[in-house]
Structure 1
Amino acid sequence: MEDAWVHLQQFTSARIALGRTGTSIPLKEMLAFRLAHAHARDAVYSLLEVDALQQACSEAFRLPVRVLHSQAADREVYLQRPDKGRQLDAVSVAALQDLPPEDLGKNIAFVITDGLSATAVNVHALPLLSLVLPALLESGYSLSPLHLVRQGRVAVGDAVGALLQARLVVVLIGERPGLSSPDSMGVYLTFAPQPGLTDEARNCISNIRPGGLSSEMAAARLAHLVRNALRQGLSGVHLKDDLMDGLLT
């Protein structure tokens, strides 16, 4: 008898209707599962391609691109001590404190960090920025220099944004890899960034990857959120992501 779930496979990458051999799933599916698990583990330990991103962003956007580091000295510390990934190390703090006045007080600061999948950021950060930065500049917003942060978590953007005295910080970060999405990137937006803020103060655009949310749609949503956040002076639970409402009416 045909599995009633088979026709649903076309709508999802979830592992459904795998079939069985005796009381077990088929060998092919078991091997596919193990391969997906290996890809997810590789993503967690992947490295941010700092030199390539720095050069590509500098050439594409004509903005200074600086490299910072969290307090997590290496990947093992990063995974075991999430708090250290949320804070900048002393060298990075000093570098931001020494910036010239013309680099401070901009409308928007963009921070790019590895998170739990540097693979996602290496692949998807530049395409997204290539779409959203020209749109924001065309709208008249001022941008801080771009900052790449090694071993960073979402909240490290608050530290960067506060030291840059930016009105708004946008963090591009690799998301926790799933068994079908080792390359998923997220974007977090926070108005008036300050250390100590928690997740309700942020807006999130998630699952940016070919099998999820396209760079084009993510860029449109991000530009929409940025404009509304700066106009209304808020973000997080108080800022409605109503872009789709406008498209559907």
Structure 2
Amino acid sequence: METDLPALSPEDPQPDPWSGLREFTAARIALGRVGTSVPLSEALAFRLAHADARDAVYSELNLALLTSGLEQLGVSVCAVRSQAETRPQYLQRPDLGRQLHPESRKMLLQGQAPERADVAIILADGLSATAVQEHAVPVLQLLLPKLQAAGFTLAPVTIAEQARVAISDEIGQLLHAQLSLILIGERPGLSSPHSLGAYFTYGPRPGLTDEARNCVSNIRPEGLGYALAADKLFFLLQEALRRQLSGVGLKDEMGLLES
């Protein structure tokens, strides 16, 4: 049977009609094809992205470097850890990552925390310590002056290892803070292995669930930039204190008020 279709070699990459959309997204679209498969370069890029995501999950905080960066911002720093003893245990037992180790709890109880603070800031490795290492200090460099100029009282900044989001509830309560704000490494994706998330809770205490928190996510230069993230967090923290709530009852209306 004859055909008018041109003869194509299986090794020739075929153009993708959606290729023009690639400039608008980091998602894996319009990869093209060679025969019935994707081009070798795209297959290798996918494997590299998968390796980056796996590395992010197992990355560790450089406590000395992170502490030095925070102290240069003029804040006092303390380090704690969760009840998860190892990284595999942390990944397999999320409940242990939500609870302070007894030694860390004792240290915070015996520390020199103020009798009352407006905000307790926690930095936690989460599922991408690299994200915290790269993005937390630049965000705080912009956020802390806003909080201080507005008269916020701050508890010492806490660095938490092998930690989940909910550990901020226990830390915030021990530091007598009205609000706990945790900057934590988010679950890595194949196009964003080093993304920072920020969660805050009004009236932090153990036992709260996710509906009591607000989240600002995808903080990184390629996503939500540092300046906009700091502005958004400052607005939301002010509103949380003014309205004495957080979670589902607090909406991000910053853009509405500016328009």
- CA offset digits 1:105-156 (Å, max 9, x no partner): 1000000000000000000000000000010000001000000001000000
Give the structure 2 partner of residue 197 of structure 1. 208
Native 8 Å contact 2:199 2:216 kept in 1: yes
Shift of 1:171: 0.2
Aligned-partner SS, 1:169: strand
Which residue does the alignment assign to 1:239? 250
Write the letter of the residue equivalent to 2:227: E
TM-score by length of 2: 0.93
1:172 aligns with 2:183: yes
- Which amino acid is the alignment partner of residue 138 of structure 1? A
Amino acid at match of 1:187: A
Q: Which has more radius of gyration?
A: 2
Could you say which structure has the higher helix fraction? Answer: 1
Aligned pairs (5 A) from 1:102-113:
103-113=114-124
Cα distance between partner residues in 2 of 1:246 and 1:227: 14
1:30 aligns to what?
Answer: 43
Select 2:161's aligned residue among 141, 146, 150: 150
Gaps of 5+ in 1: none
The two structures have a TM-score, normalised by structure 1, of 0.97
Give me the CA root mean square deviation.
Answer: 1.1
Partners of 1:23 and 1:2 in 2: how far apart? Answer: 13
Q: Secondary structure at the match of 1:115?
A: coil
User: Is contact 2:15–2:33 with CA below 8 Å preserved after alignment?
Assistant: no
Q: Which residue does the alignment assign to 1:96?
A: 108
Aligned 8 A contact 2:16 2:31 in 1: no
Aligned to 2:27: 14
State the alpha-carbon separation in 2 of the partners of residues 127 and 8 from structure 1. Answer: 31
How big is each residue's C-alpha offset from its partner over 1:39-82, in whole Å with a ceiling of 9 and x where there is no partner? 0000000001111111211122x221000000001101100000
Residues 186 and 197, structure 2, Cα contact 8 Å, conserved in 1: yes
Instruction: Give runs of ≥4 in structure 1 deviating > 2 Å.
Output: 1-4
Which residue number corresponds to residue 128 of structure 1?
A: 139
The equivalent of 2:84 in structure 1 is 72
Contact 1:104–1:144 (CA<8 Å) still a contact in 2? no
Q: Percent identity?
A: 52
> Distance in 2 between the 1:168 and 1:152 partners?
18
Give the paired residue count.
246
Q: Which runs of 5+ in 2 are unaligned?
A: 1-13
List per-residue Cα deviations over 1:153-210 (Å, max 9, x = no partner): 0000001001111000000000000001011000001000010111110000000011
Structure 1 position 2, deviation (Å): 5.1
Q: Which amino acid aligns with 1:80?
A: Q
C-alpha distance in structure 2 between counterparts of 1:227 and 1:79, whole Å: 34
1:245, CA displacement in angstroms?
Answer: 1.6
Residue 104 of structure 1, CA deviation: 3.2
Q: SS of the residue aligned with 1:97? A: helix
1:30 and 1:63 mapped to 2: Cα distance? 46
